[in-house]
Amino acid sequence: MILDTLYTSVACNRTPESLDWSDDGLIYFGAKNAIAVLDVHQEAVKIVRTLTGHKARVNCVRAVRNAGHLGVQLVSGSDDGTCVLWNTVDTGKPSAKFMLIGHSKGVTTVEAFVEQPAGQLIVATGSVDSTIKLWRAESDTRFGCFQTIDLRSGLTFGLKLFALPQSNVTMLAYTTDTDTVNLCVESTQDGTGRSFVQVEQLKGHCDWVRGLDCIQLPGSEDLLLASCSQDSFIRLWRISPRDTLQKQKAYEEIAQDEDIQLEERTFTVGSEASRSVFHYALSLESVLQGHEGWVYGVHFCLRNGQDLHLLSSSIDKTLIGWKPSESGVWMESVRVGEVGGSSLGFYGGKFSPDGRAIIGHGFQGSLHLWRSEDADGITGLWNPGIIVGGHFGGARDLAWDPVGGAFLVTLSEDQTTRVHAPWRRSSGANGEQTETWHEIARPQVHGYDMQCLTLLSRYRLASAAEEKIIRIFQAPSNFVHNFRALCGITEDREGDAIVEGNPMGASVPSLGLSNKAVFEVEQPETEGRHIKDMYPEHYFSPVSMDRPPAEETLMQNTLWPEIQKLYGHGNELYAVAASPDGTLLASACRATSADHAQILLWDTATWRITQQLSAHQLTVTQLCFAPNNLALLAVSRDRTFSVFERSATIGESSSFELKMRSDKTNGVHTRIIWCCDWSHDSVTFATGSRDGKVVAWKRNETPGAGAWFVPGAVLELKSESITAVAF
């Protein structure tokens, strides 16, 4: 059997340096403990692979320019205190080649630079342990730390390595939890080997400096260093080479005091290679103001080798592109971002290598892509592009569409429920059918961490969060229209009924948790109204989709109306399941006693409790109806499972009776049973436990030998916890 990944849905980690756009056009971003590789070359944007090598959240990712002879393409840092160097030399696909171990706490920022002409790679890492470590290859198989910069109790937010013009000496710029930028150059003057020594500090910001980037100006030997800060300003610093005569002339001009000049400071660097001394001047080039909140990142881009542009990303929900005018004044050339919704701004943004696209990653892990429709790629109109996304918290439950599996619904501790479906369209000259998966709706954006869900029918959803209520949702007509258009659905009886009489959409009132139905969208009259009554009670706008929606649309215009709340449990909900025919809903809550561990059965026609099933002492962790609709399986924290069978139907009602309960004293499982599932023929079911065992159970037809038994061997994974199982 050959398995291939069809679709990967995940959000970008919520850290400022967790994404980078490499020169080969691939986007790398932290996805929990892994690194996702995103390909945006084609319209079918998708995550093509994930890189695993860290044991904790990936905080920072940096693509290496000019990889050098070691072939290191990517550097990443993690909360596990390690930095991994990835290469493509051996396999053609990124694989972990070096792991840098030395920090006692998480790595929060990384930087990599290839020294020329030797092609030697230097890596800088900053950590929560208040140190910056510098690493260099000691051989083709080993990296070693050659310097540690102690920040005492400080934290580092930004690192940048670059070569000074003329001397080719490597300079390190770094920022900490202060308002200064520290500049260090590589030196051998102390006689103890090569190390970085501080030569200057750049002052001017009024708050912590969060990001750095540097570029050599086209047609010049000058460097431009950009710094951004929580004071909402961006400062551009020019580093210019000076010879001895120019240095003396600069001092004389300042002393004459004939003209008002910007402060210019100089520093001297010795080059070991040329055995010469080089002078450099530092000056403030410009101060850019355009953001209204903290600025987390800056990124330079050189279009066509000569057009210089700067991108800044801020928590004020905007990304701004800056460009110097003919007079040398830096002006805003493009502003993109989010309008409305409950998003909380951007952590970072990058230009594509050719400068014709911008990607930003938000506070809630969402990715945003814009492409320029103009030839120069900067001054024209920028349109939102198709992008992937996913949960930024742990995914806790999922369910397939019960009618043919046309879509997948997932929920997460990030307090959202999401619908993923295939986008089918004709492409190419031959009109070939293309299919790629995307998130097409977000039925629920809640205020509590979500816990469990089930689908009662294609367009009816039951979900529960860490609260005592089960909420029932039904798809609005706008979702049905868009689902059919994107997925190519034709025969859909339930959808026909919804289109005729259901609401158009839903919205969440301010400070509310319930999705309120919106039947029609009208522009309210404001004349004669008090100012507090001039704003609409809902923020839904119907959208006709011919492509997967952007993040802003998903957050506001794809909610499902809530049609019912079910009260009955005394603690927070933990598991729900729907019968195959959709007539029954089973639910269970957190429990420390048999009374709270009862399973409630709900009639989906009346939404009343029809039965309470008792079998367990602790929380029921999962419920599952048999495909033939005749049995209900439950597994629990008390290390047991139970099977309830439907009795003979009398009139319109039927009940479930306990037929078997496993014995935890001599049962197969010795730890919590987390999961269970039935086979398609309703004859066999499987259970998975924290003890690492997956056990298949089959009905025993031998009279008097018990109702169930364990056939054959038990699948066991040593030192693992089985949390999900499915046939």
pLDDT tens digits for range 606-652:
999 999 999 999 999 999 999 999 999 999 999 999 999 998 664 45
Domains belonging to the chain, first-starting first, are: 395-526+534-565 (no CATH), 579-716 (2.130.10.10)
Higher pLDDT, 667 or 400: 400
Q: Which of 194-198, 297-301, 591-595, 613-617 has the lowest mean pLDDT?
A: 194-198
Q: Which residues of 199-236 are buried (b: 16+ CB within 10 A; e: fewer)?
A: bbebebbeebbbbbbbbbbeeeebbbbbbbbbbbbbbb
CA distance 413 to 427: 37
Nearest CA to 610 among 631, 583, 630? 583
Amino acid at 271: S
Question: For 115-154, how does the pLDDT look when each residue is reduced to its tens digit (9 = 90+)?
Answer: 887 788 999 999 999 999 999 988 878 889 999 999 998 9
Assigned token pair, 342: 């409950």
Other beta carbons within 10 angstroms of residue 490's beta carbon come to: 5
Q: Which residues pair with 85 in a beta bridge?
A: 75, 98
Q: Which helix (H) or strand (E) holds 252?
A: helix 244-256
Question: For 158-214, how does the pLDDT look when each residue is reduced to its tens digit (9 = 90+)?
Answer: 999 999 998 899 999 999 999 999 999 998 755 556 799 999 999 999 999 999 999
Other beta carbons within 10 angstroms of residue 568's beta carbon come to: 16
Nearest CA to 263 among 278, 253, 248, 276? 253
Please enumerate in sequence order all residues whose Cβ is within 8 A of that of 60, keeping only pairs 6 or more positions apart, or say none.
Answer: 15, 17, 18, 30, 76, 77, 107, 108, 109, 110
Taking CA atoms, 448 is separated from 415, 416, 445, 597, 715, in Å, by 6, 9, 9, 22, 36
Q: DSSP label at 131?
A: E
Integer-rounded Cα Rg, in Å, for the chain is 30
Other beta carbons within 10 angstroms of residue 479's beta carbon come to: 26
Do residues 231 and 206 make contact, with C-beta atoms less than 8 angstroms apart?
A: yes
Q: DSSP label at 55?
A: S
Taking CA atoms, 123 is separated from 16, 126, 147, 170, 342, in Å, by 19, 10, 11, 12, 38
Taking CA atoms, 635 is separated from 257, 429, 449, 621, 644, in Å, by 84, 53, 22, 6, 12
pLDDT at 12 over 50: yes
pLDDT at 336 over 60: yes
End-to-end CA distance of the chain: 16
Other beta carbons within 10 angstroms of residue 488's beta carbon come to: 14
Cα–chain center distance at 419: 16
Assigned token pair, 339: 């309008």
Show the beta-strand stretches assigned E in 405-482: 408-412, 416-427, 432-445, 450-457, 460-465, 469-474
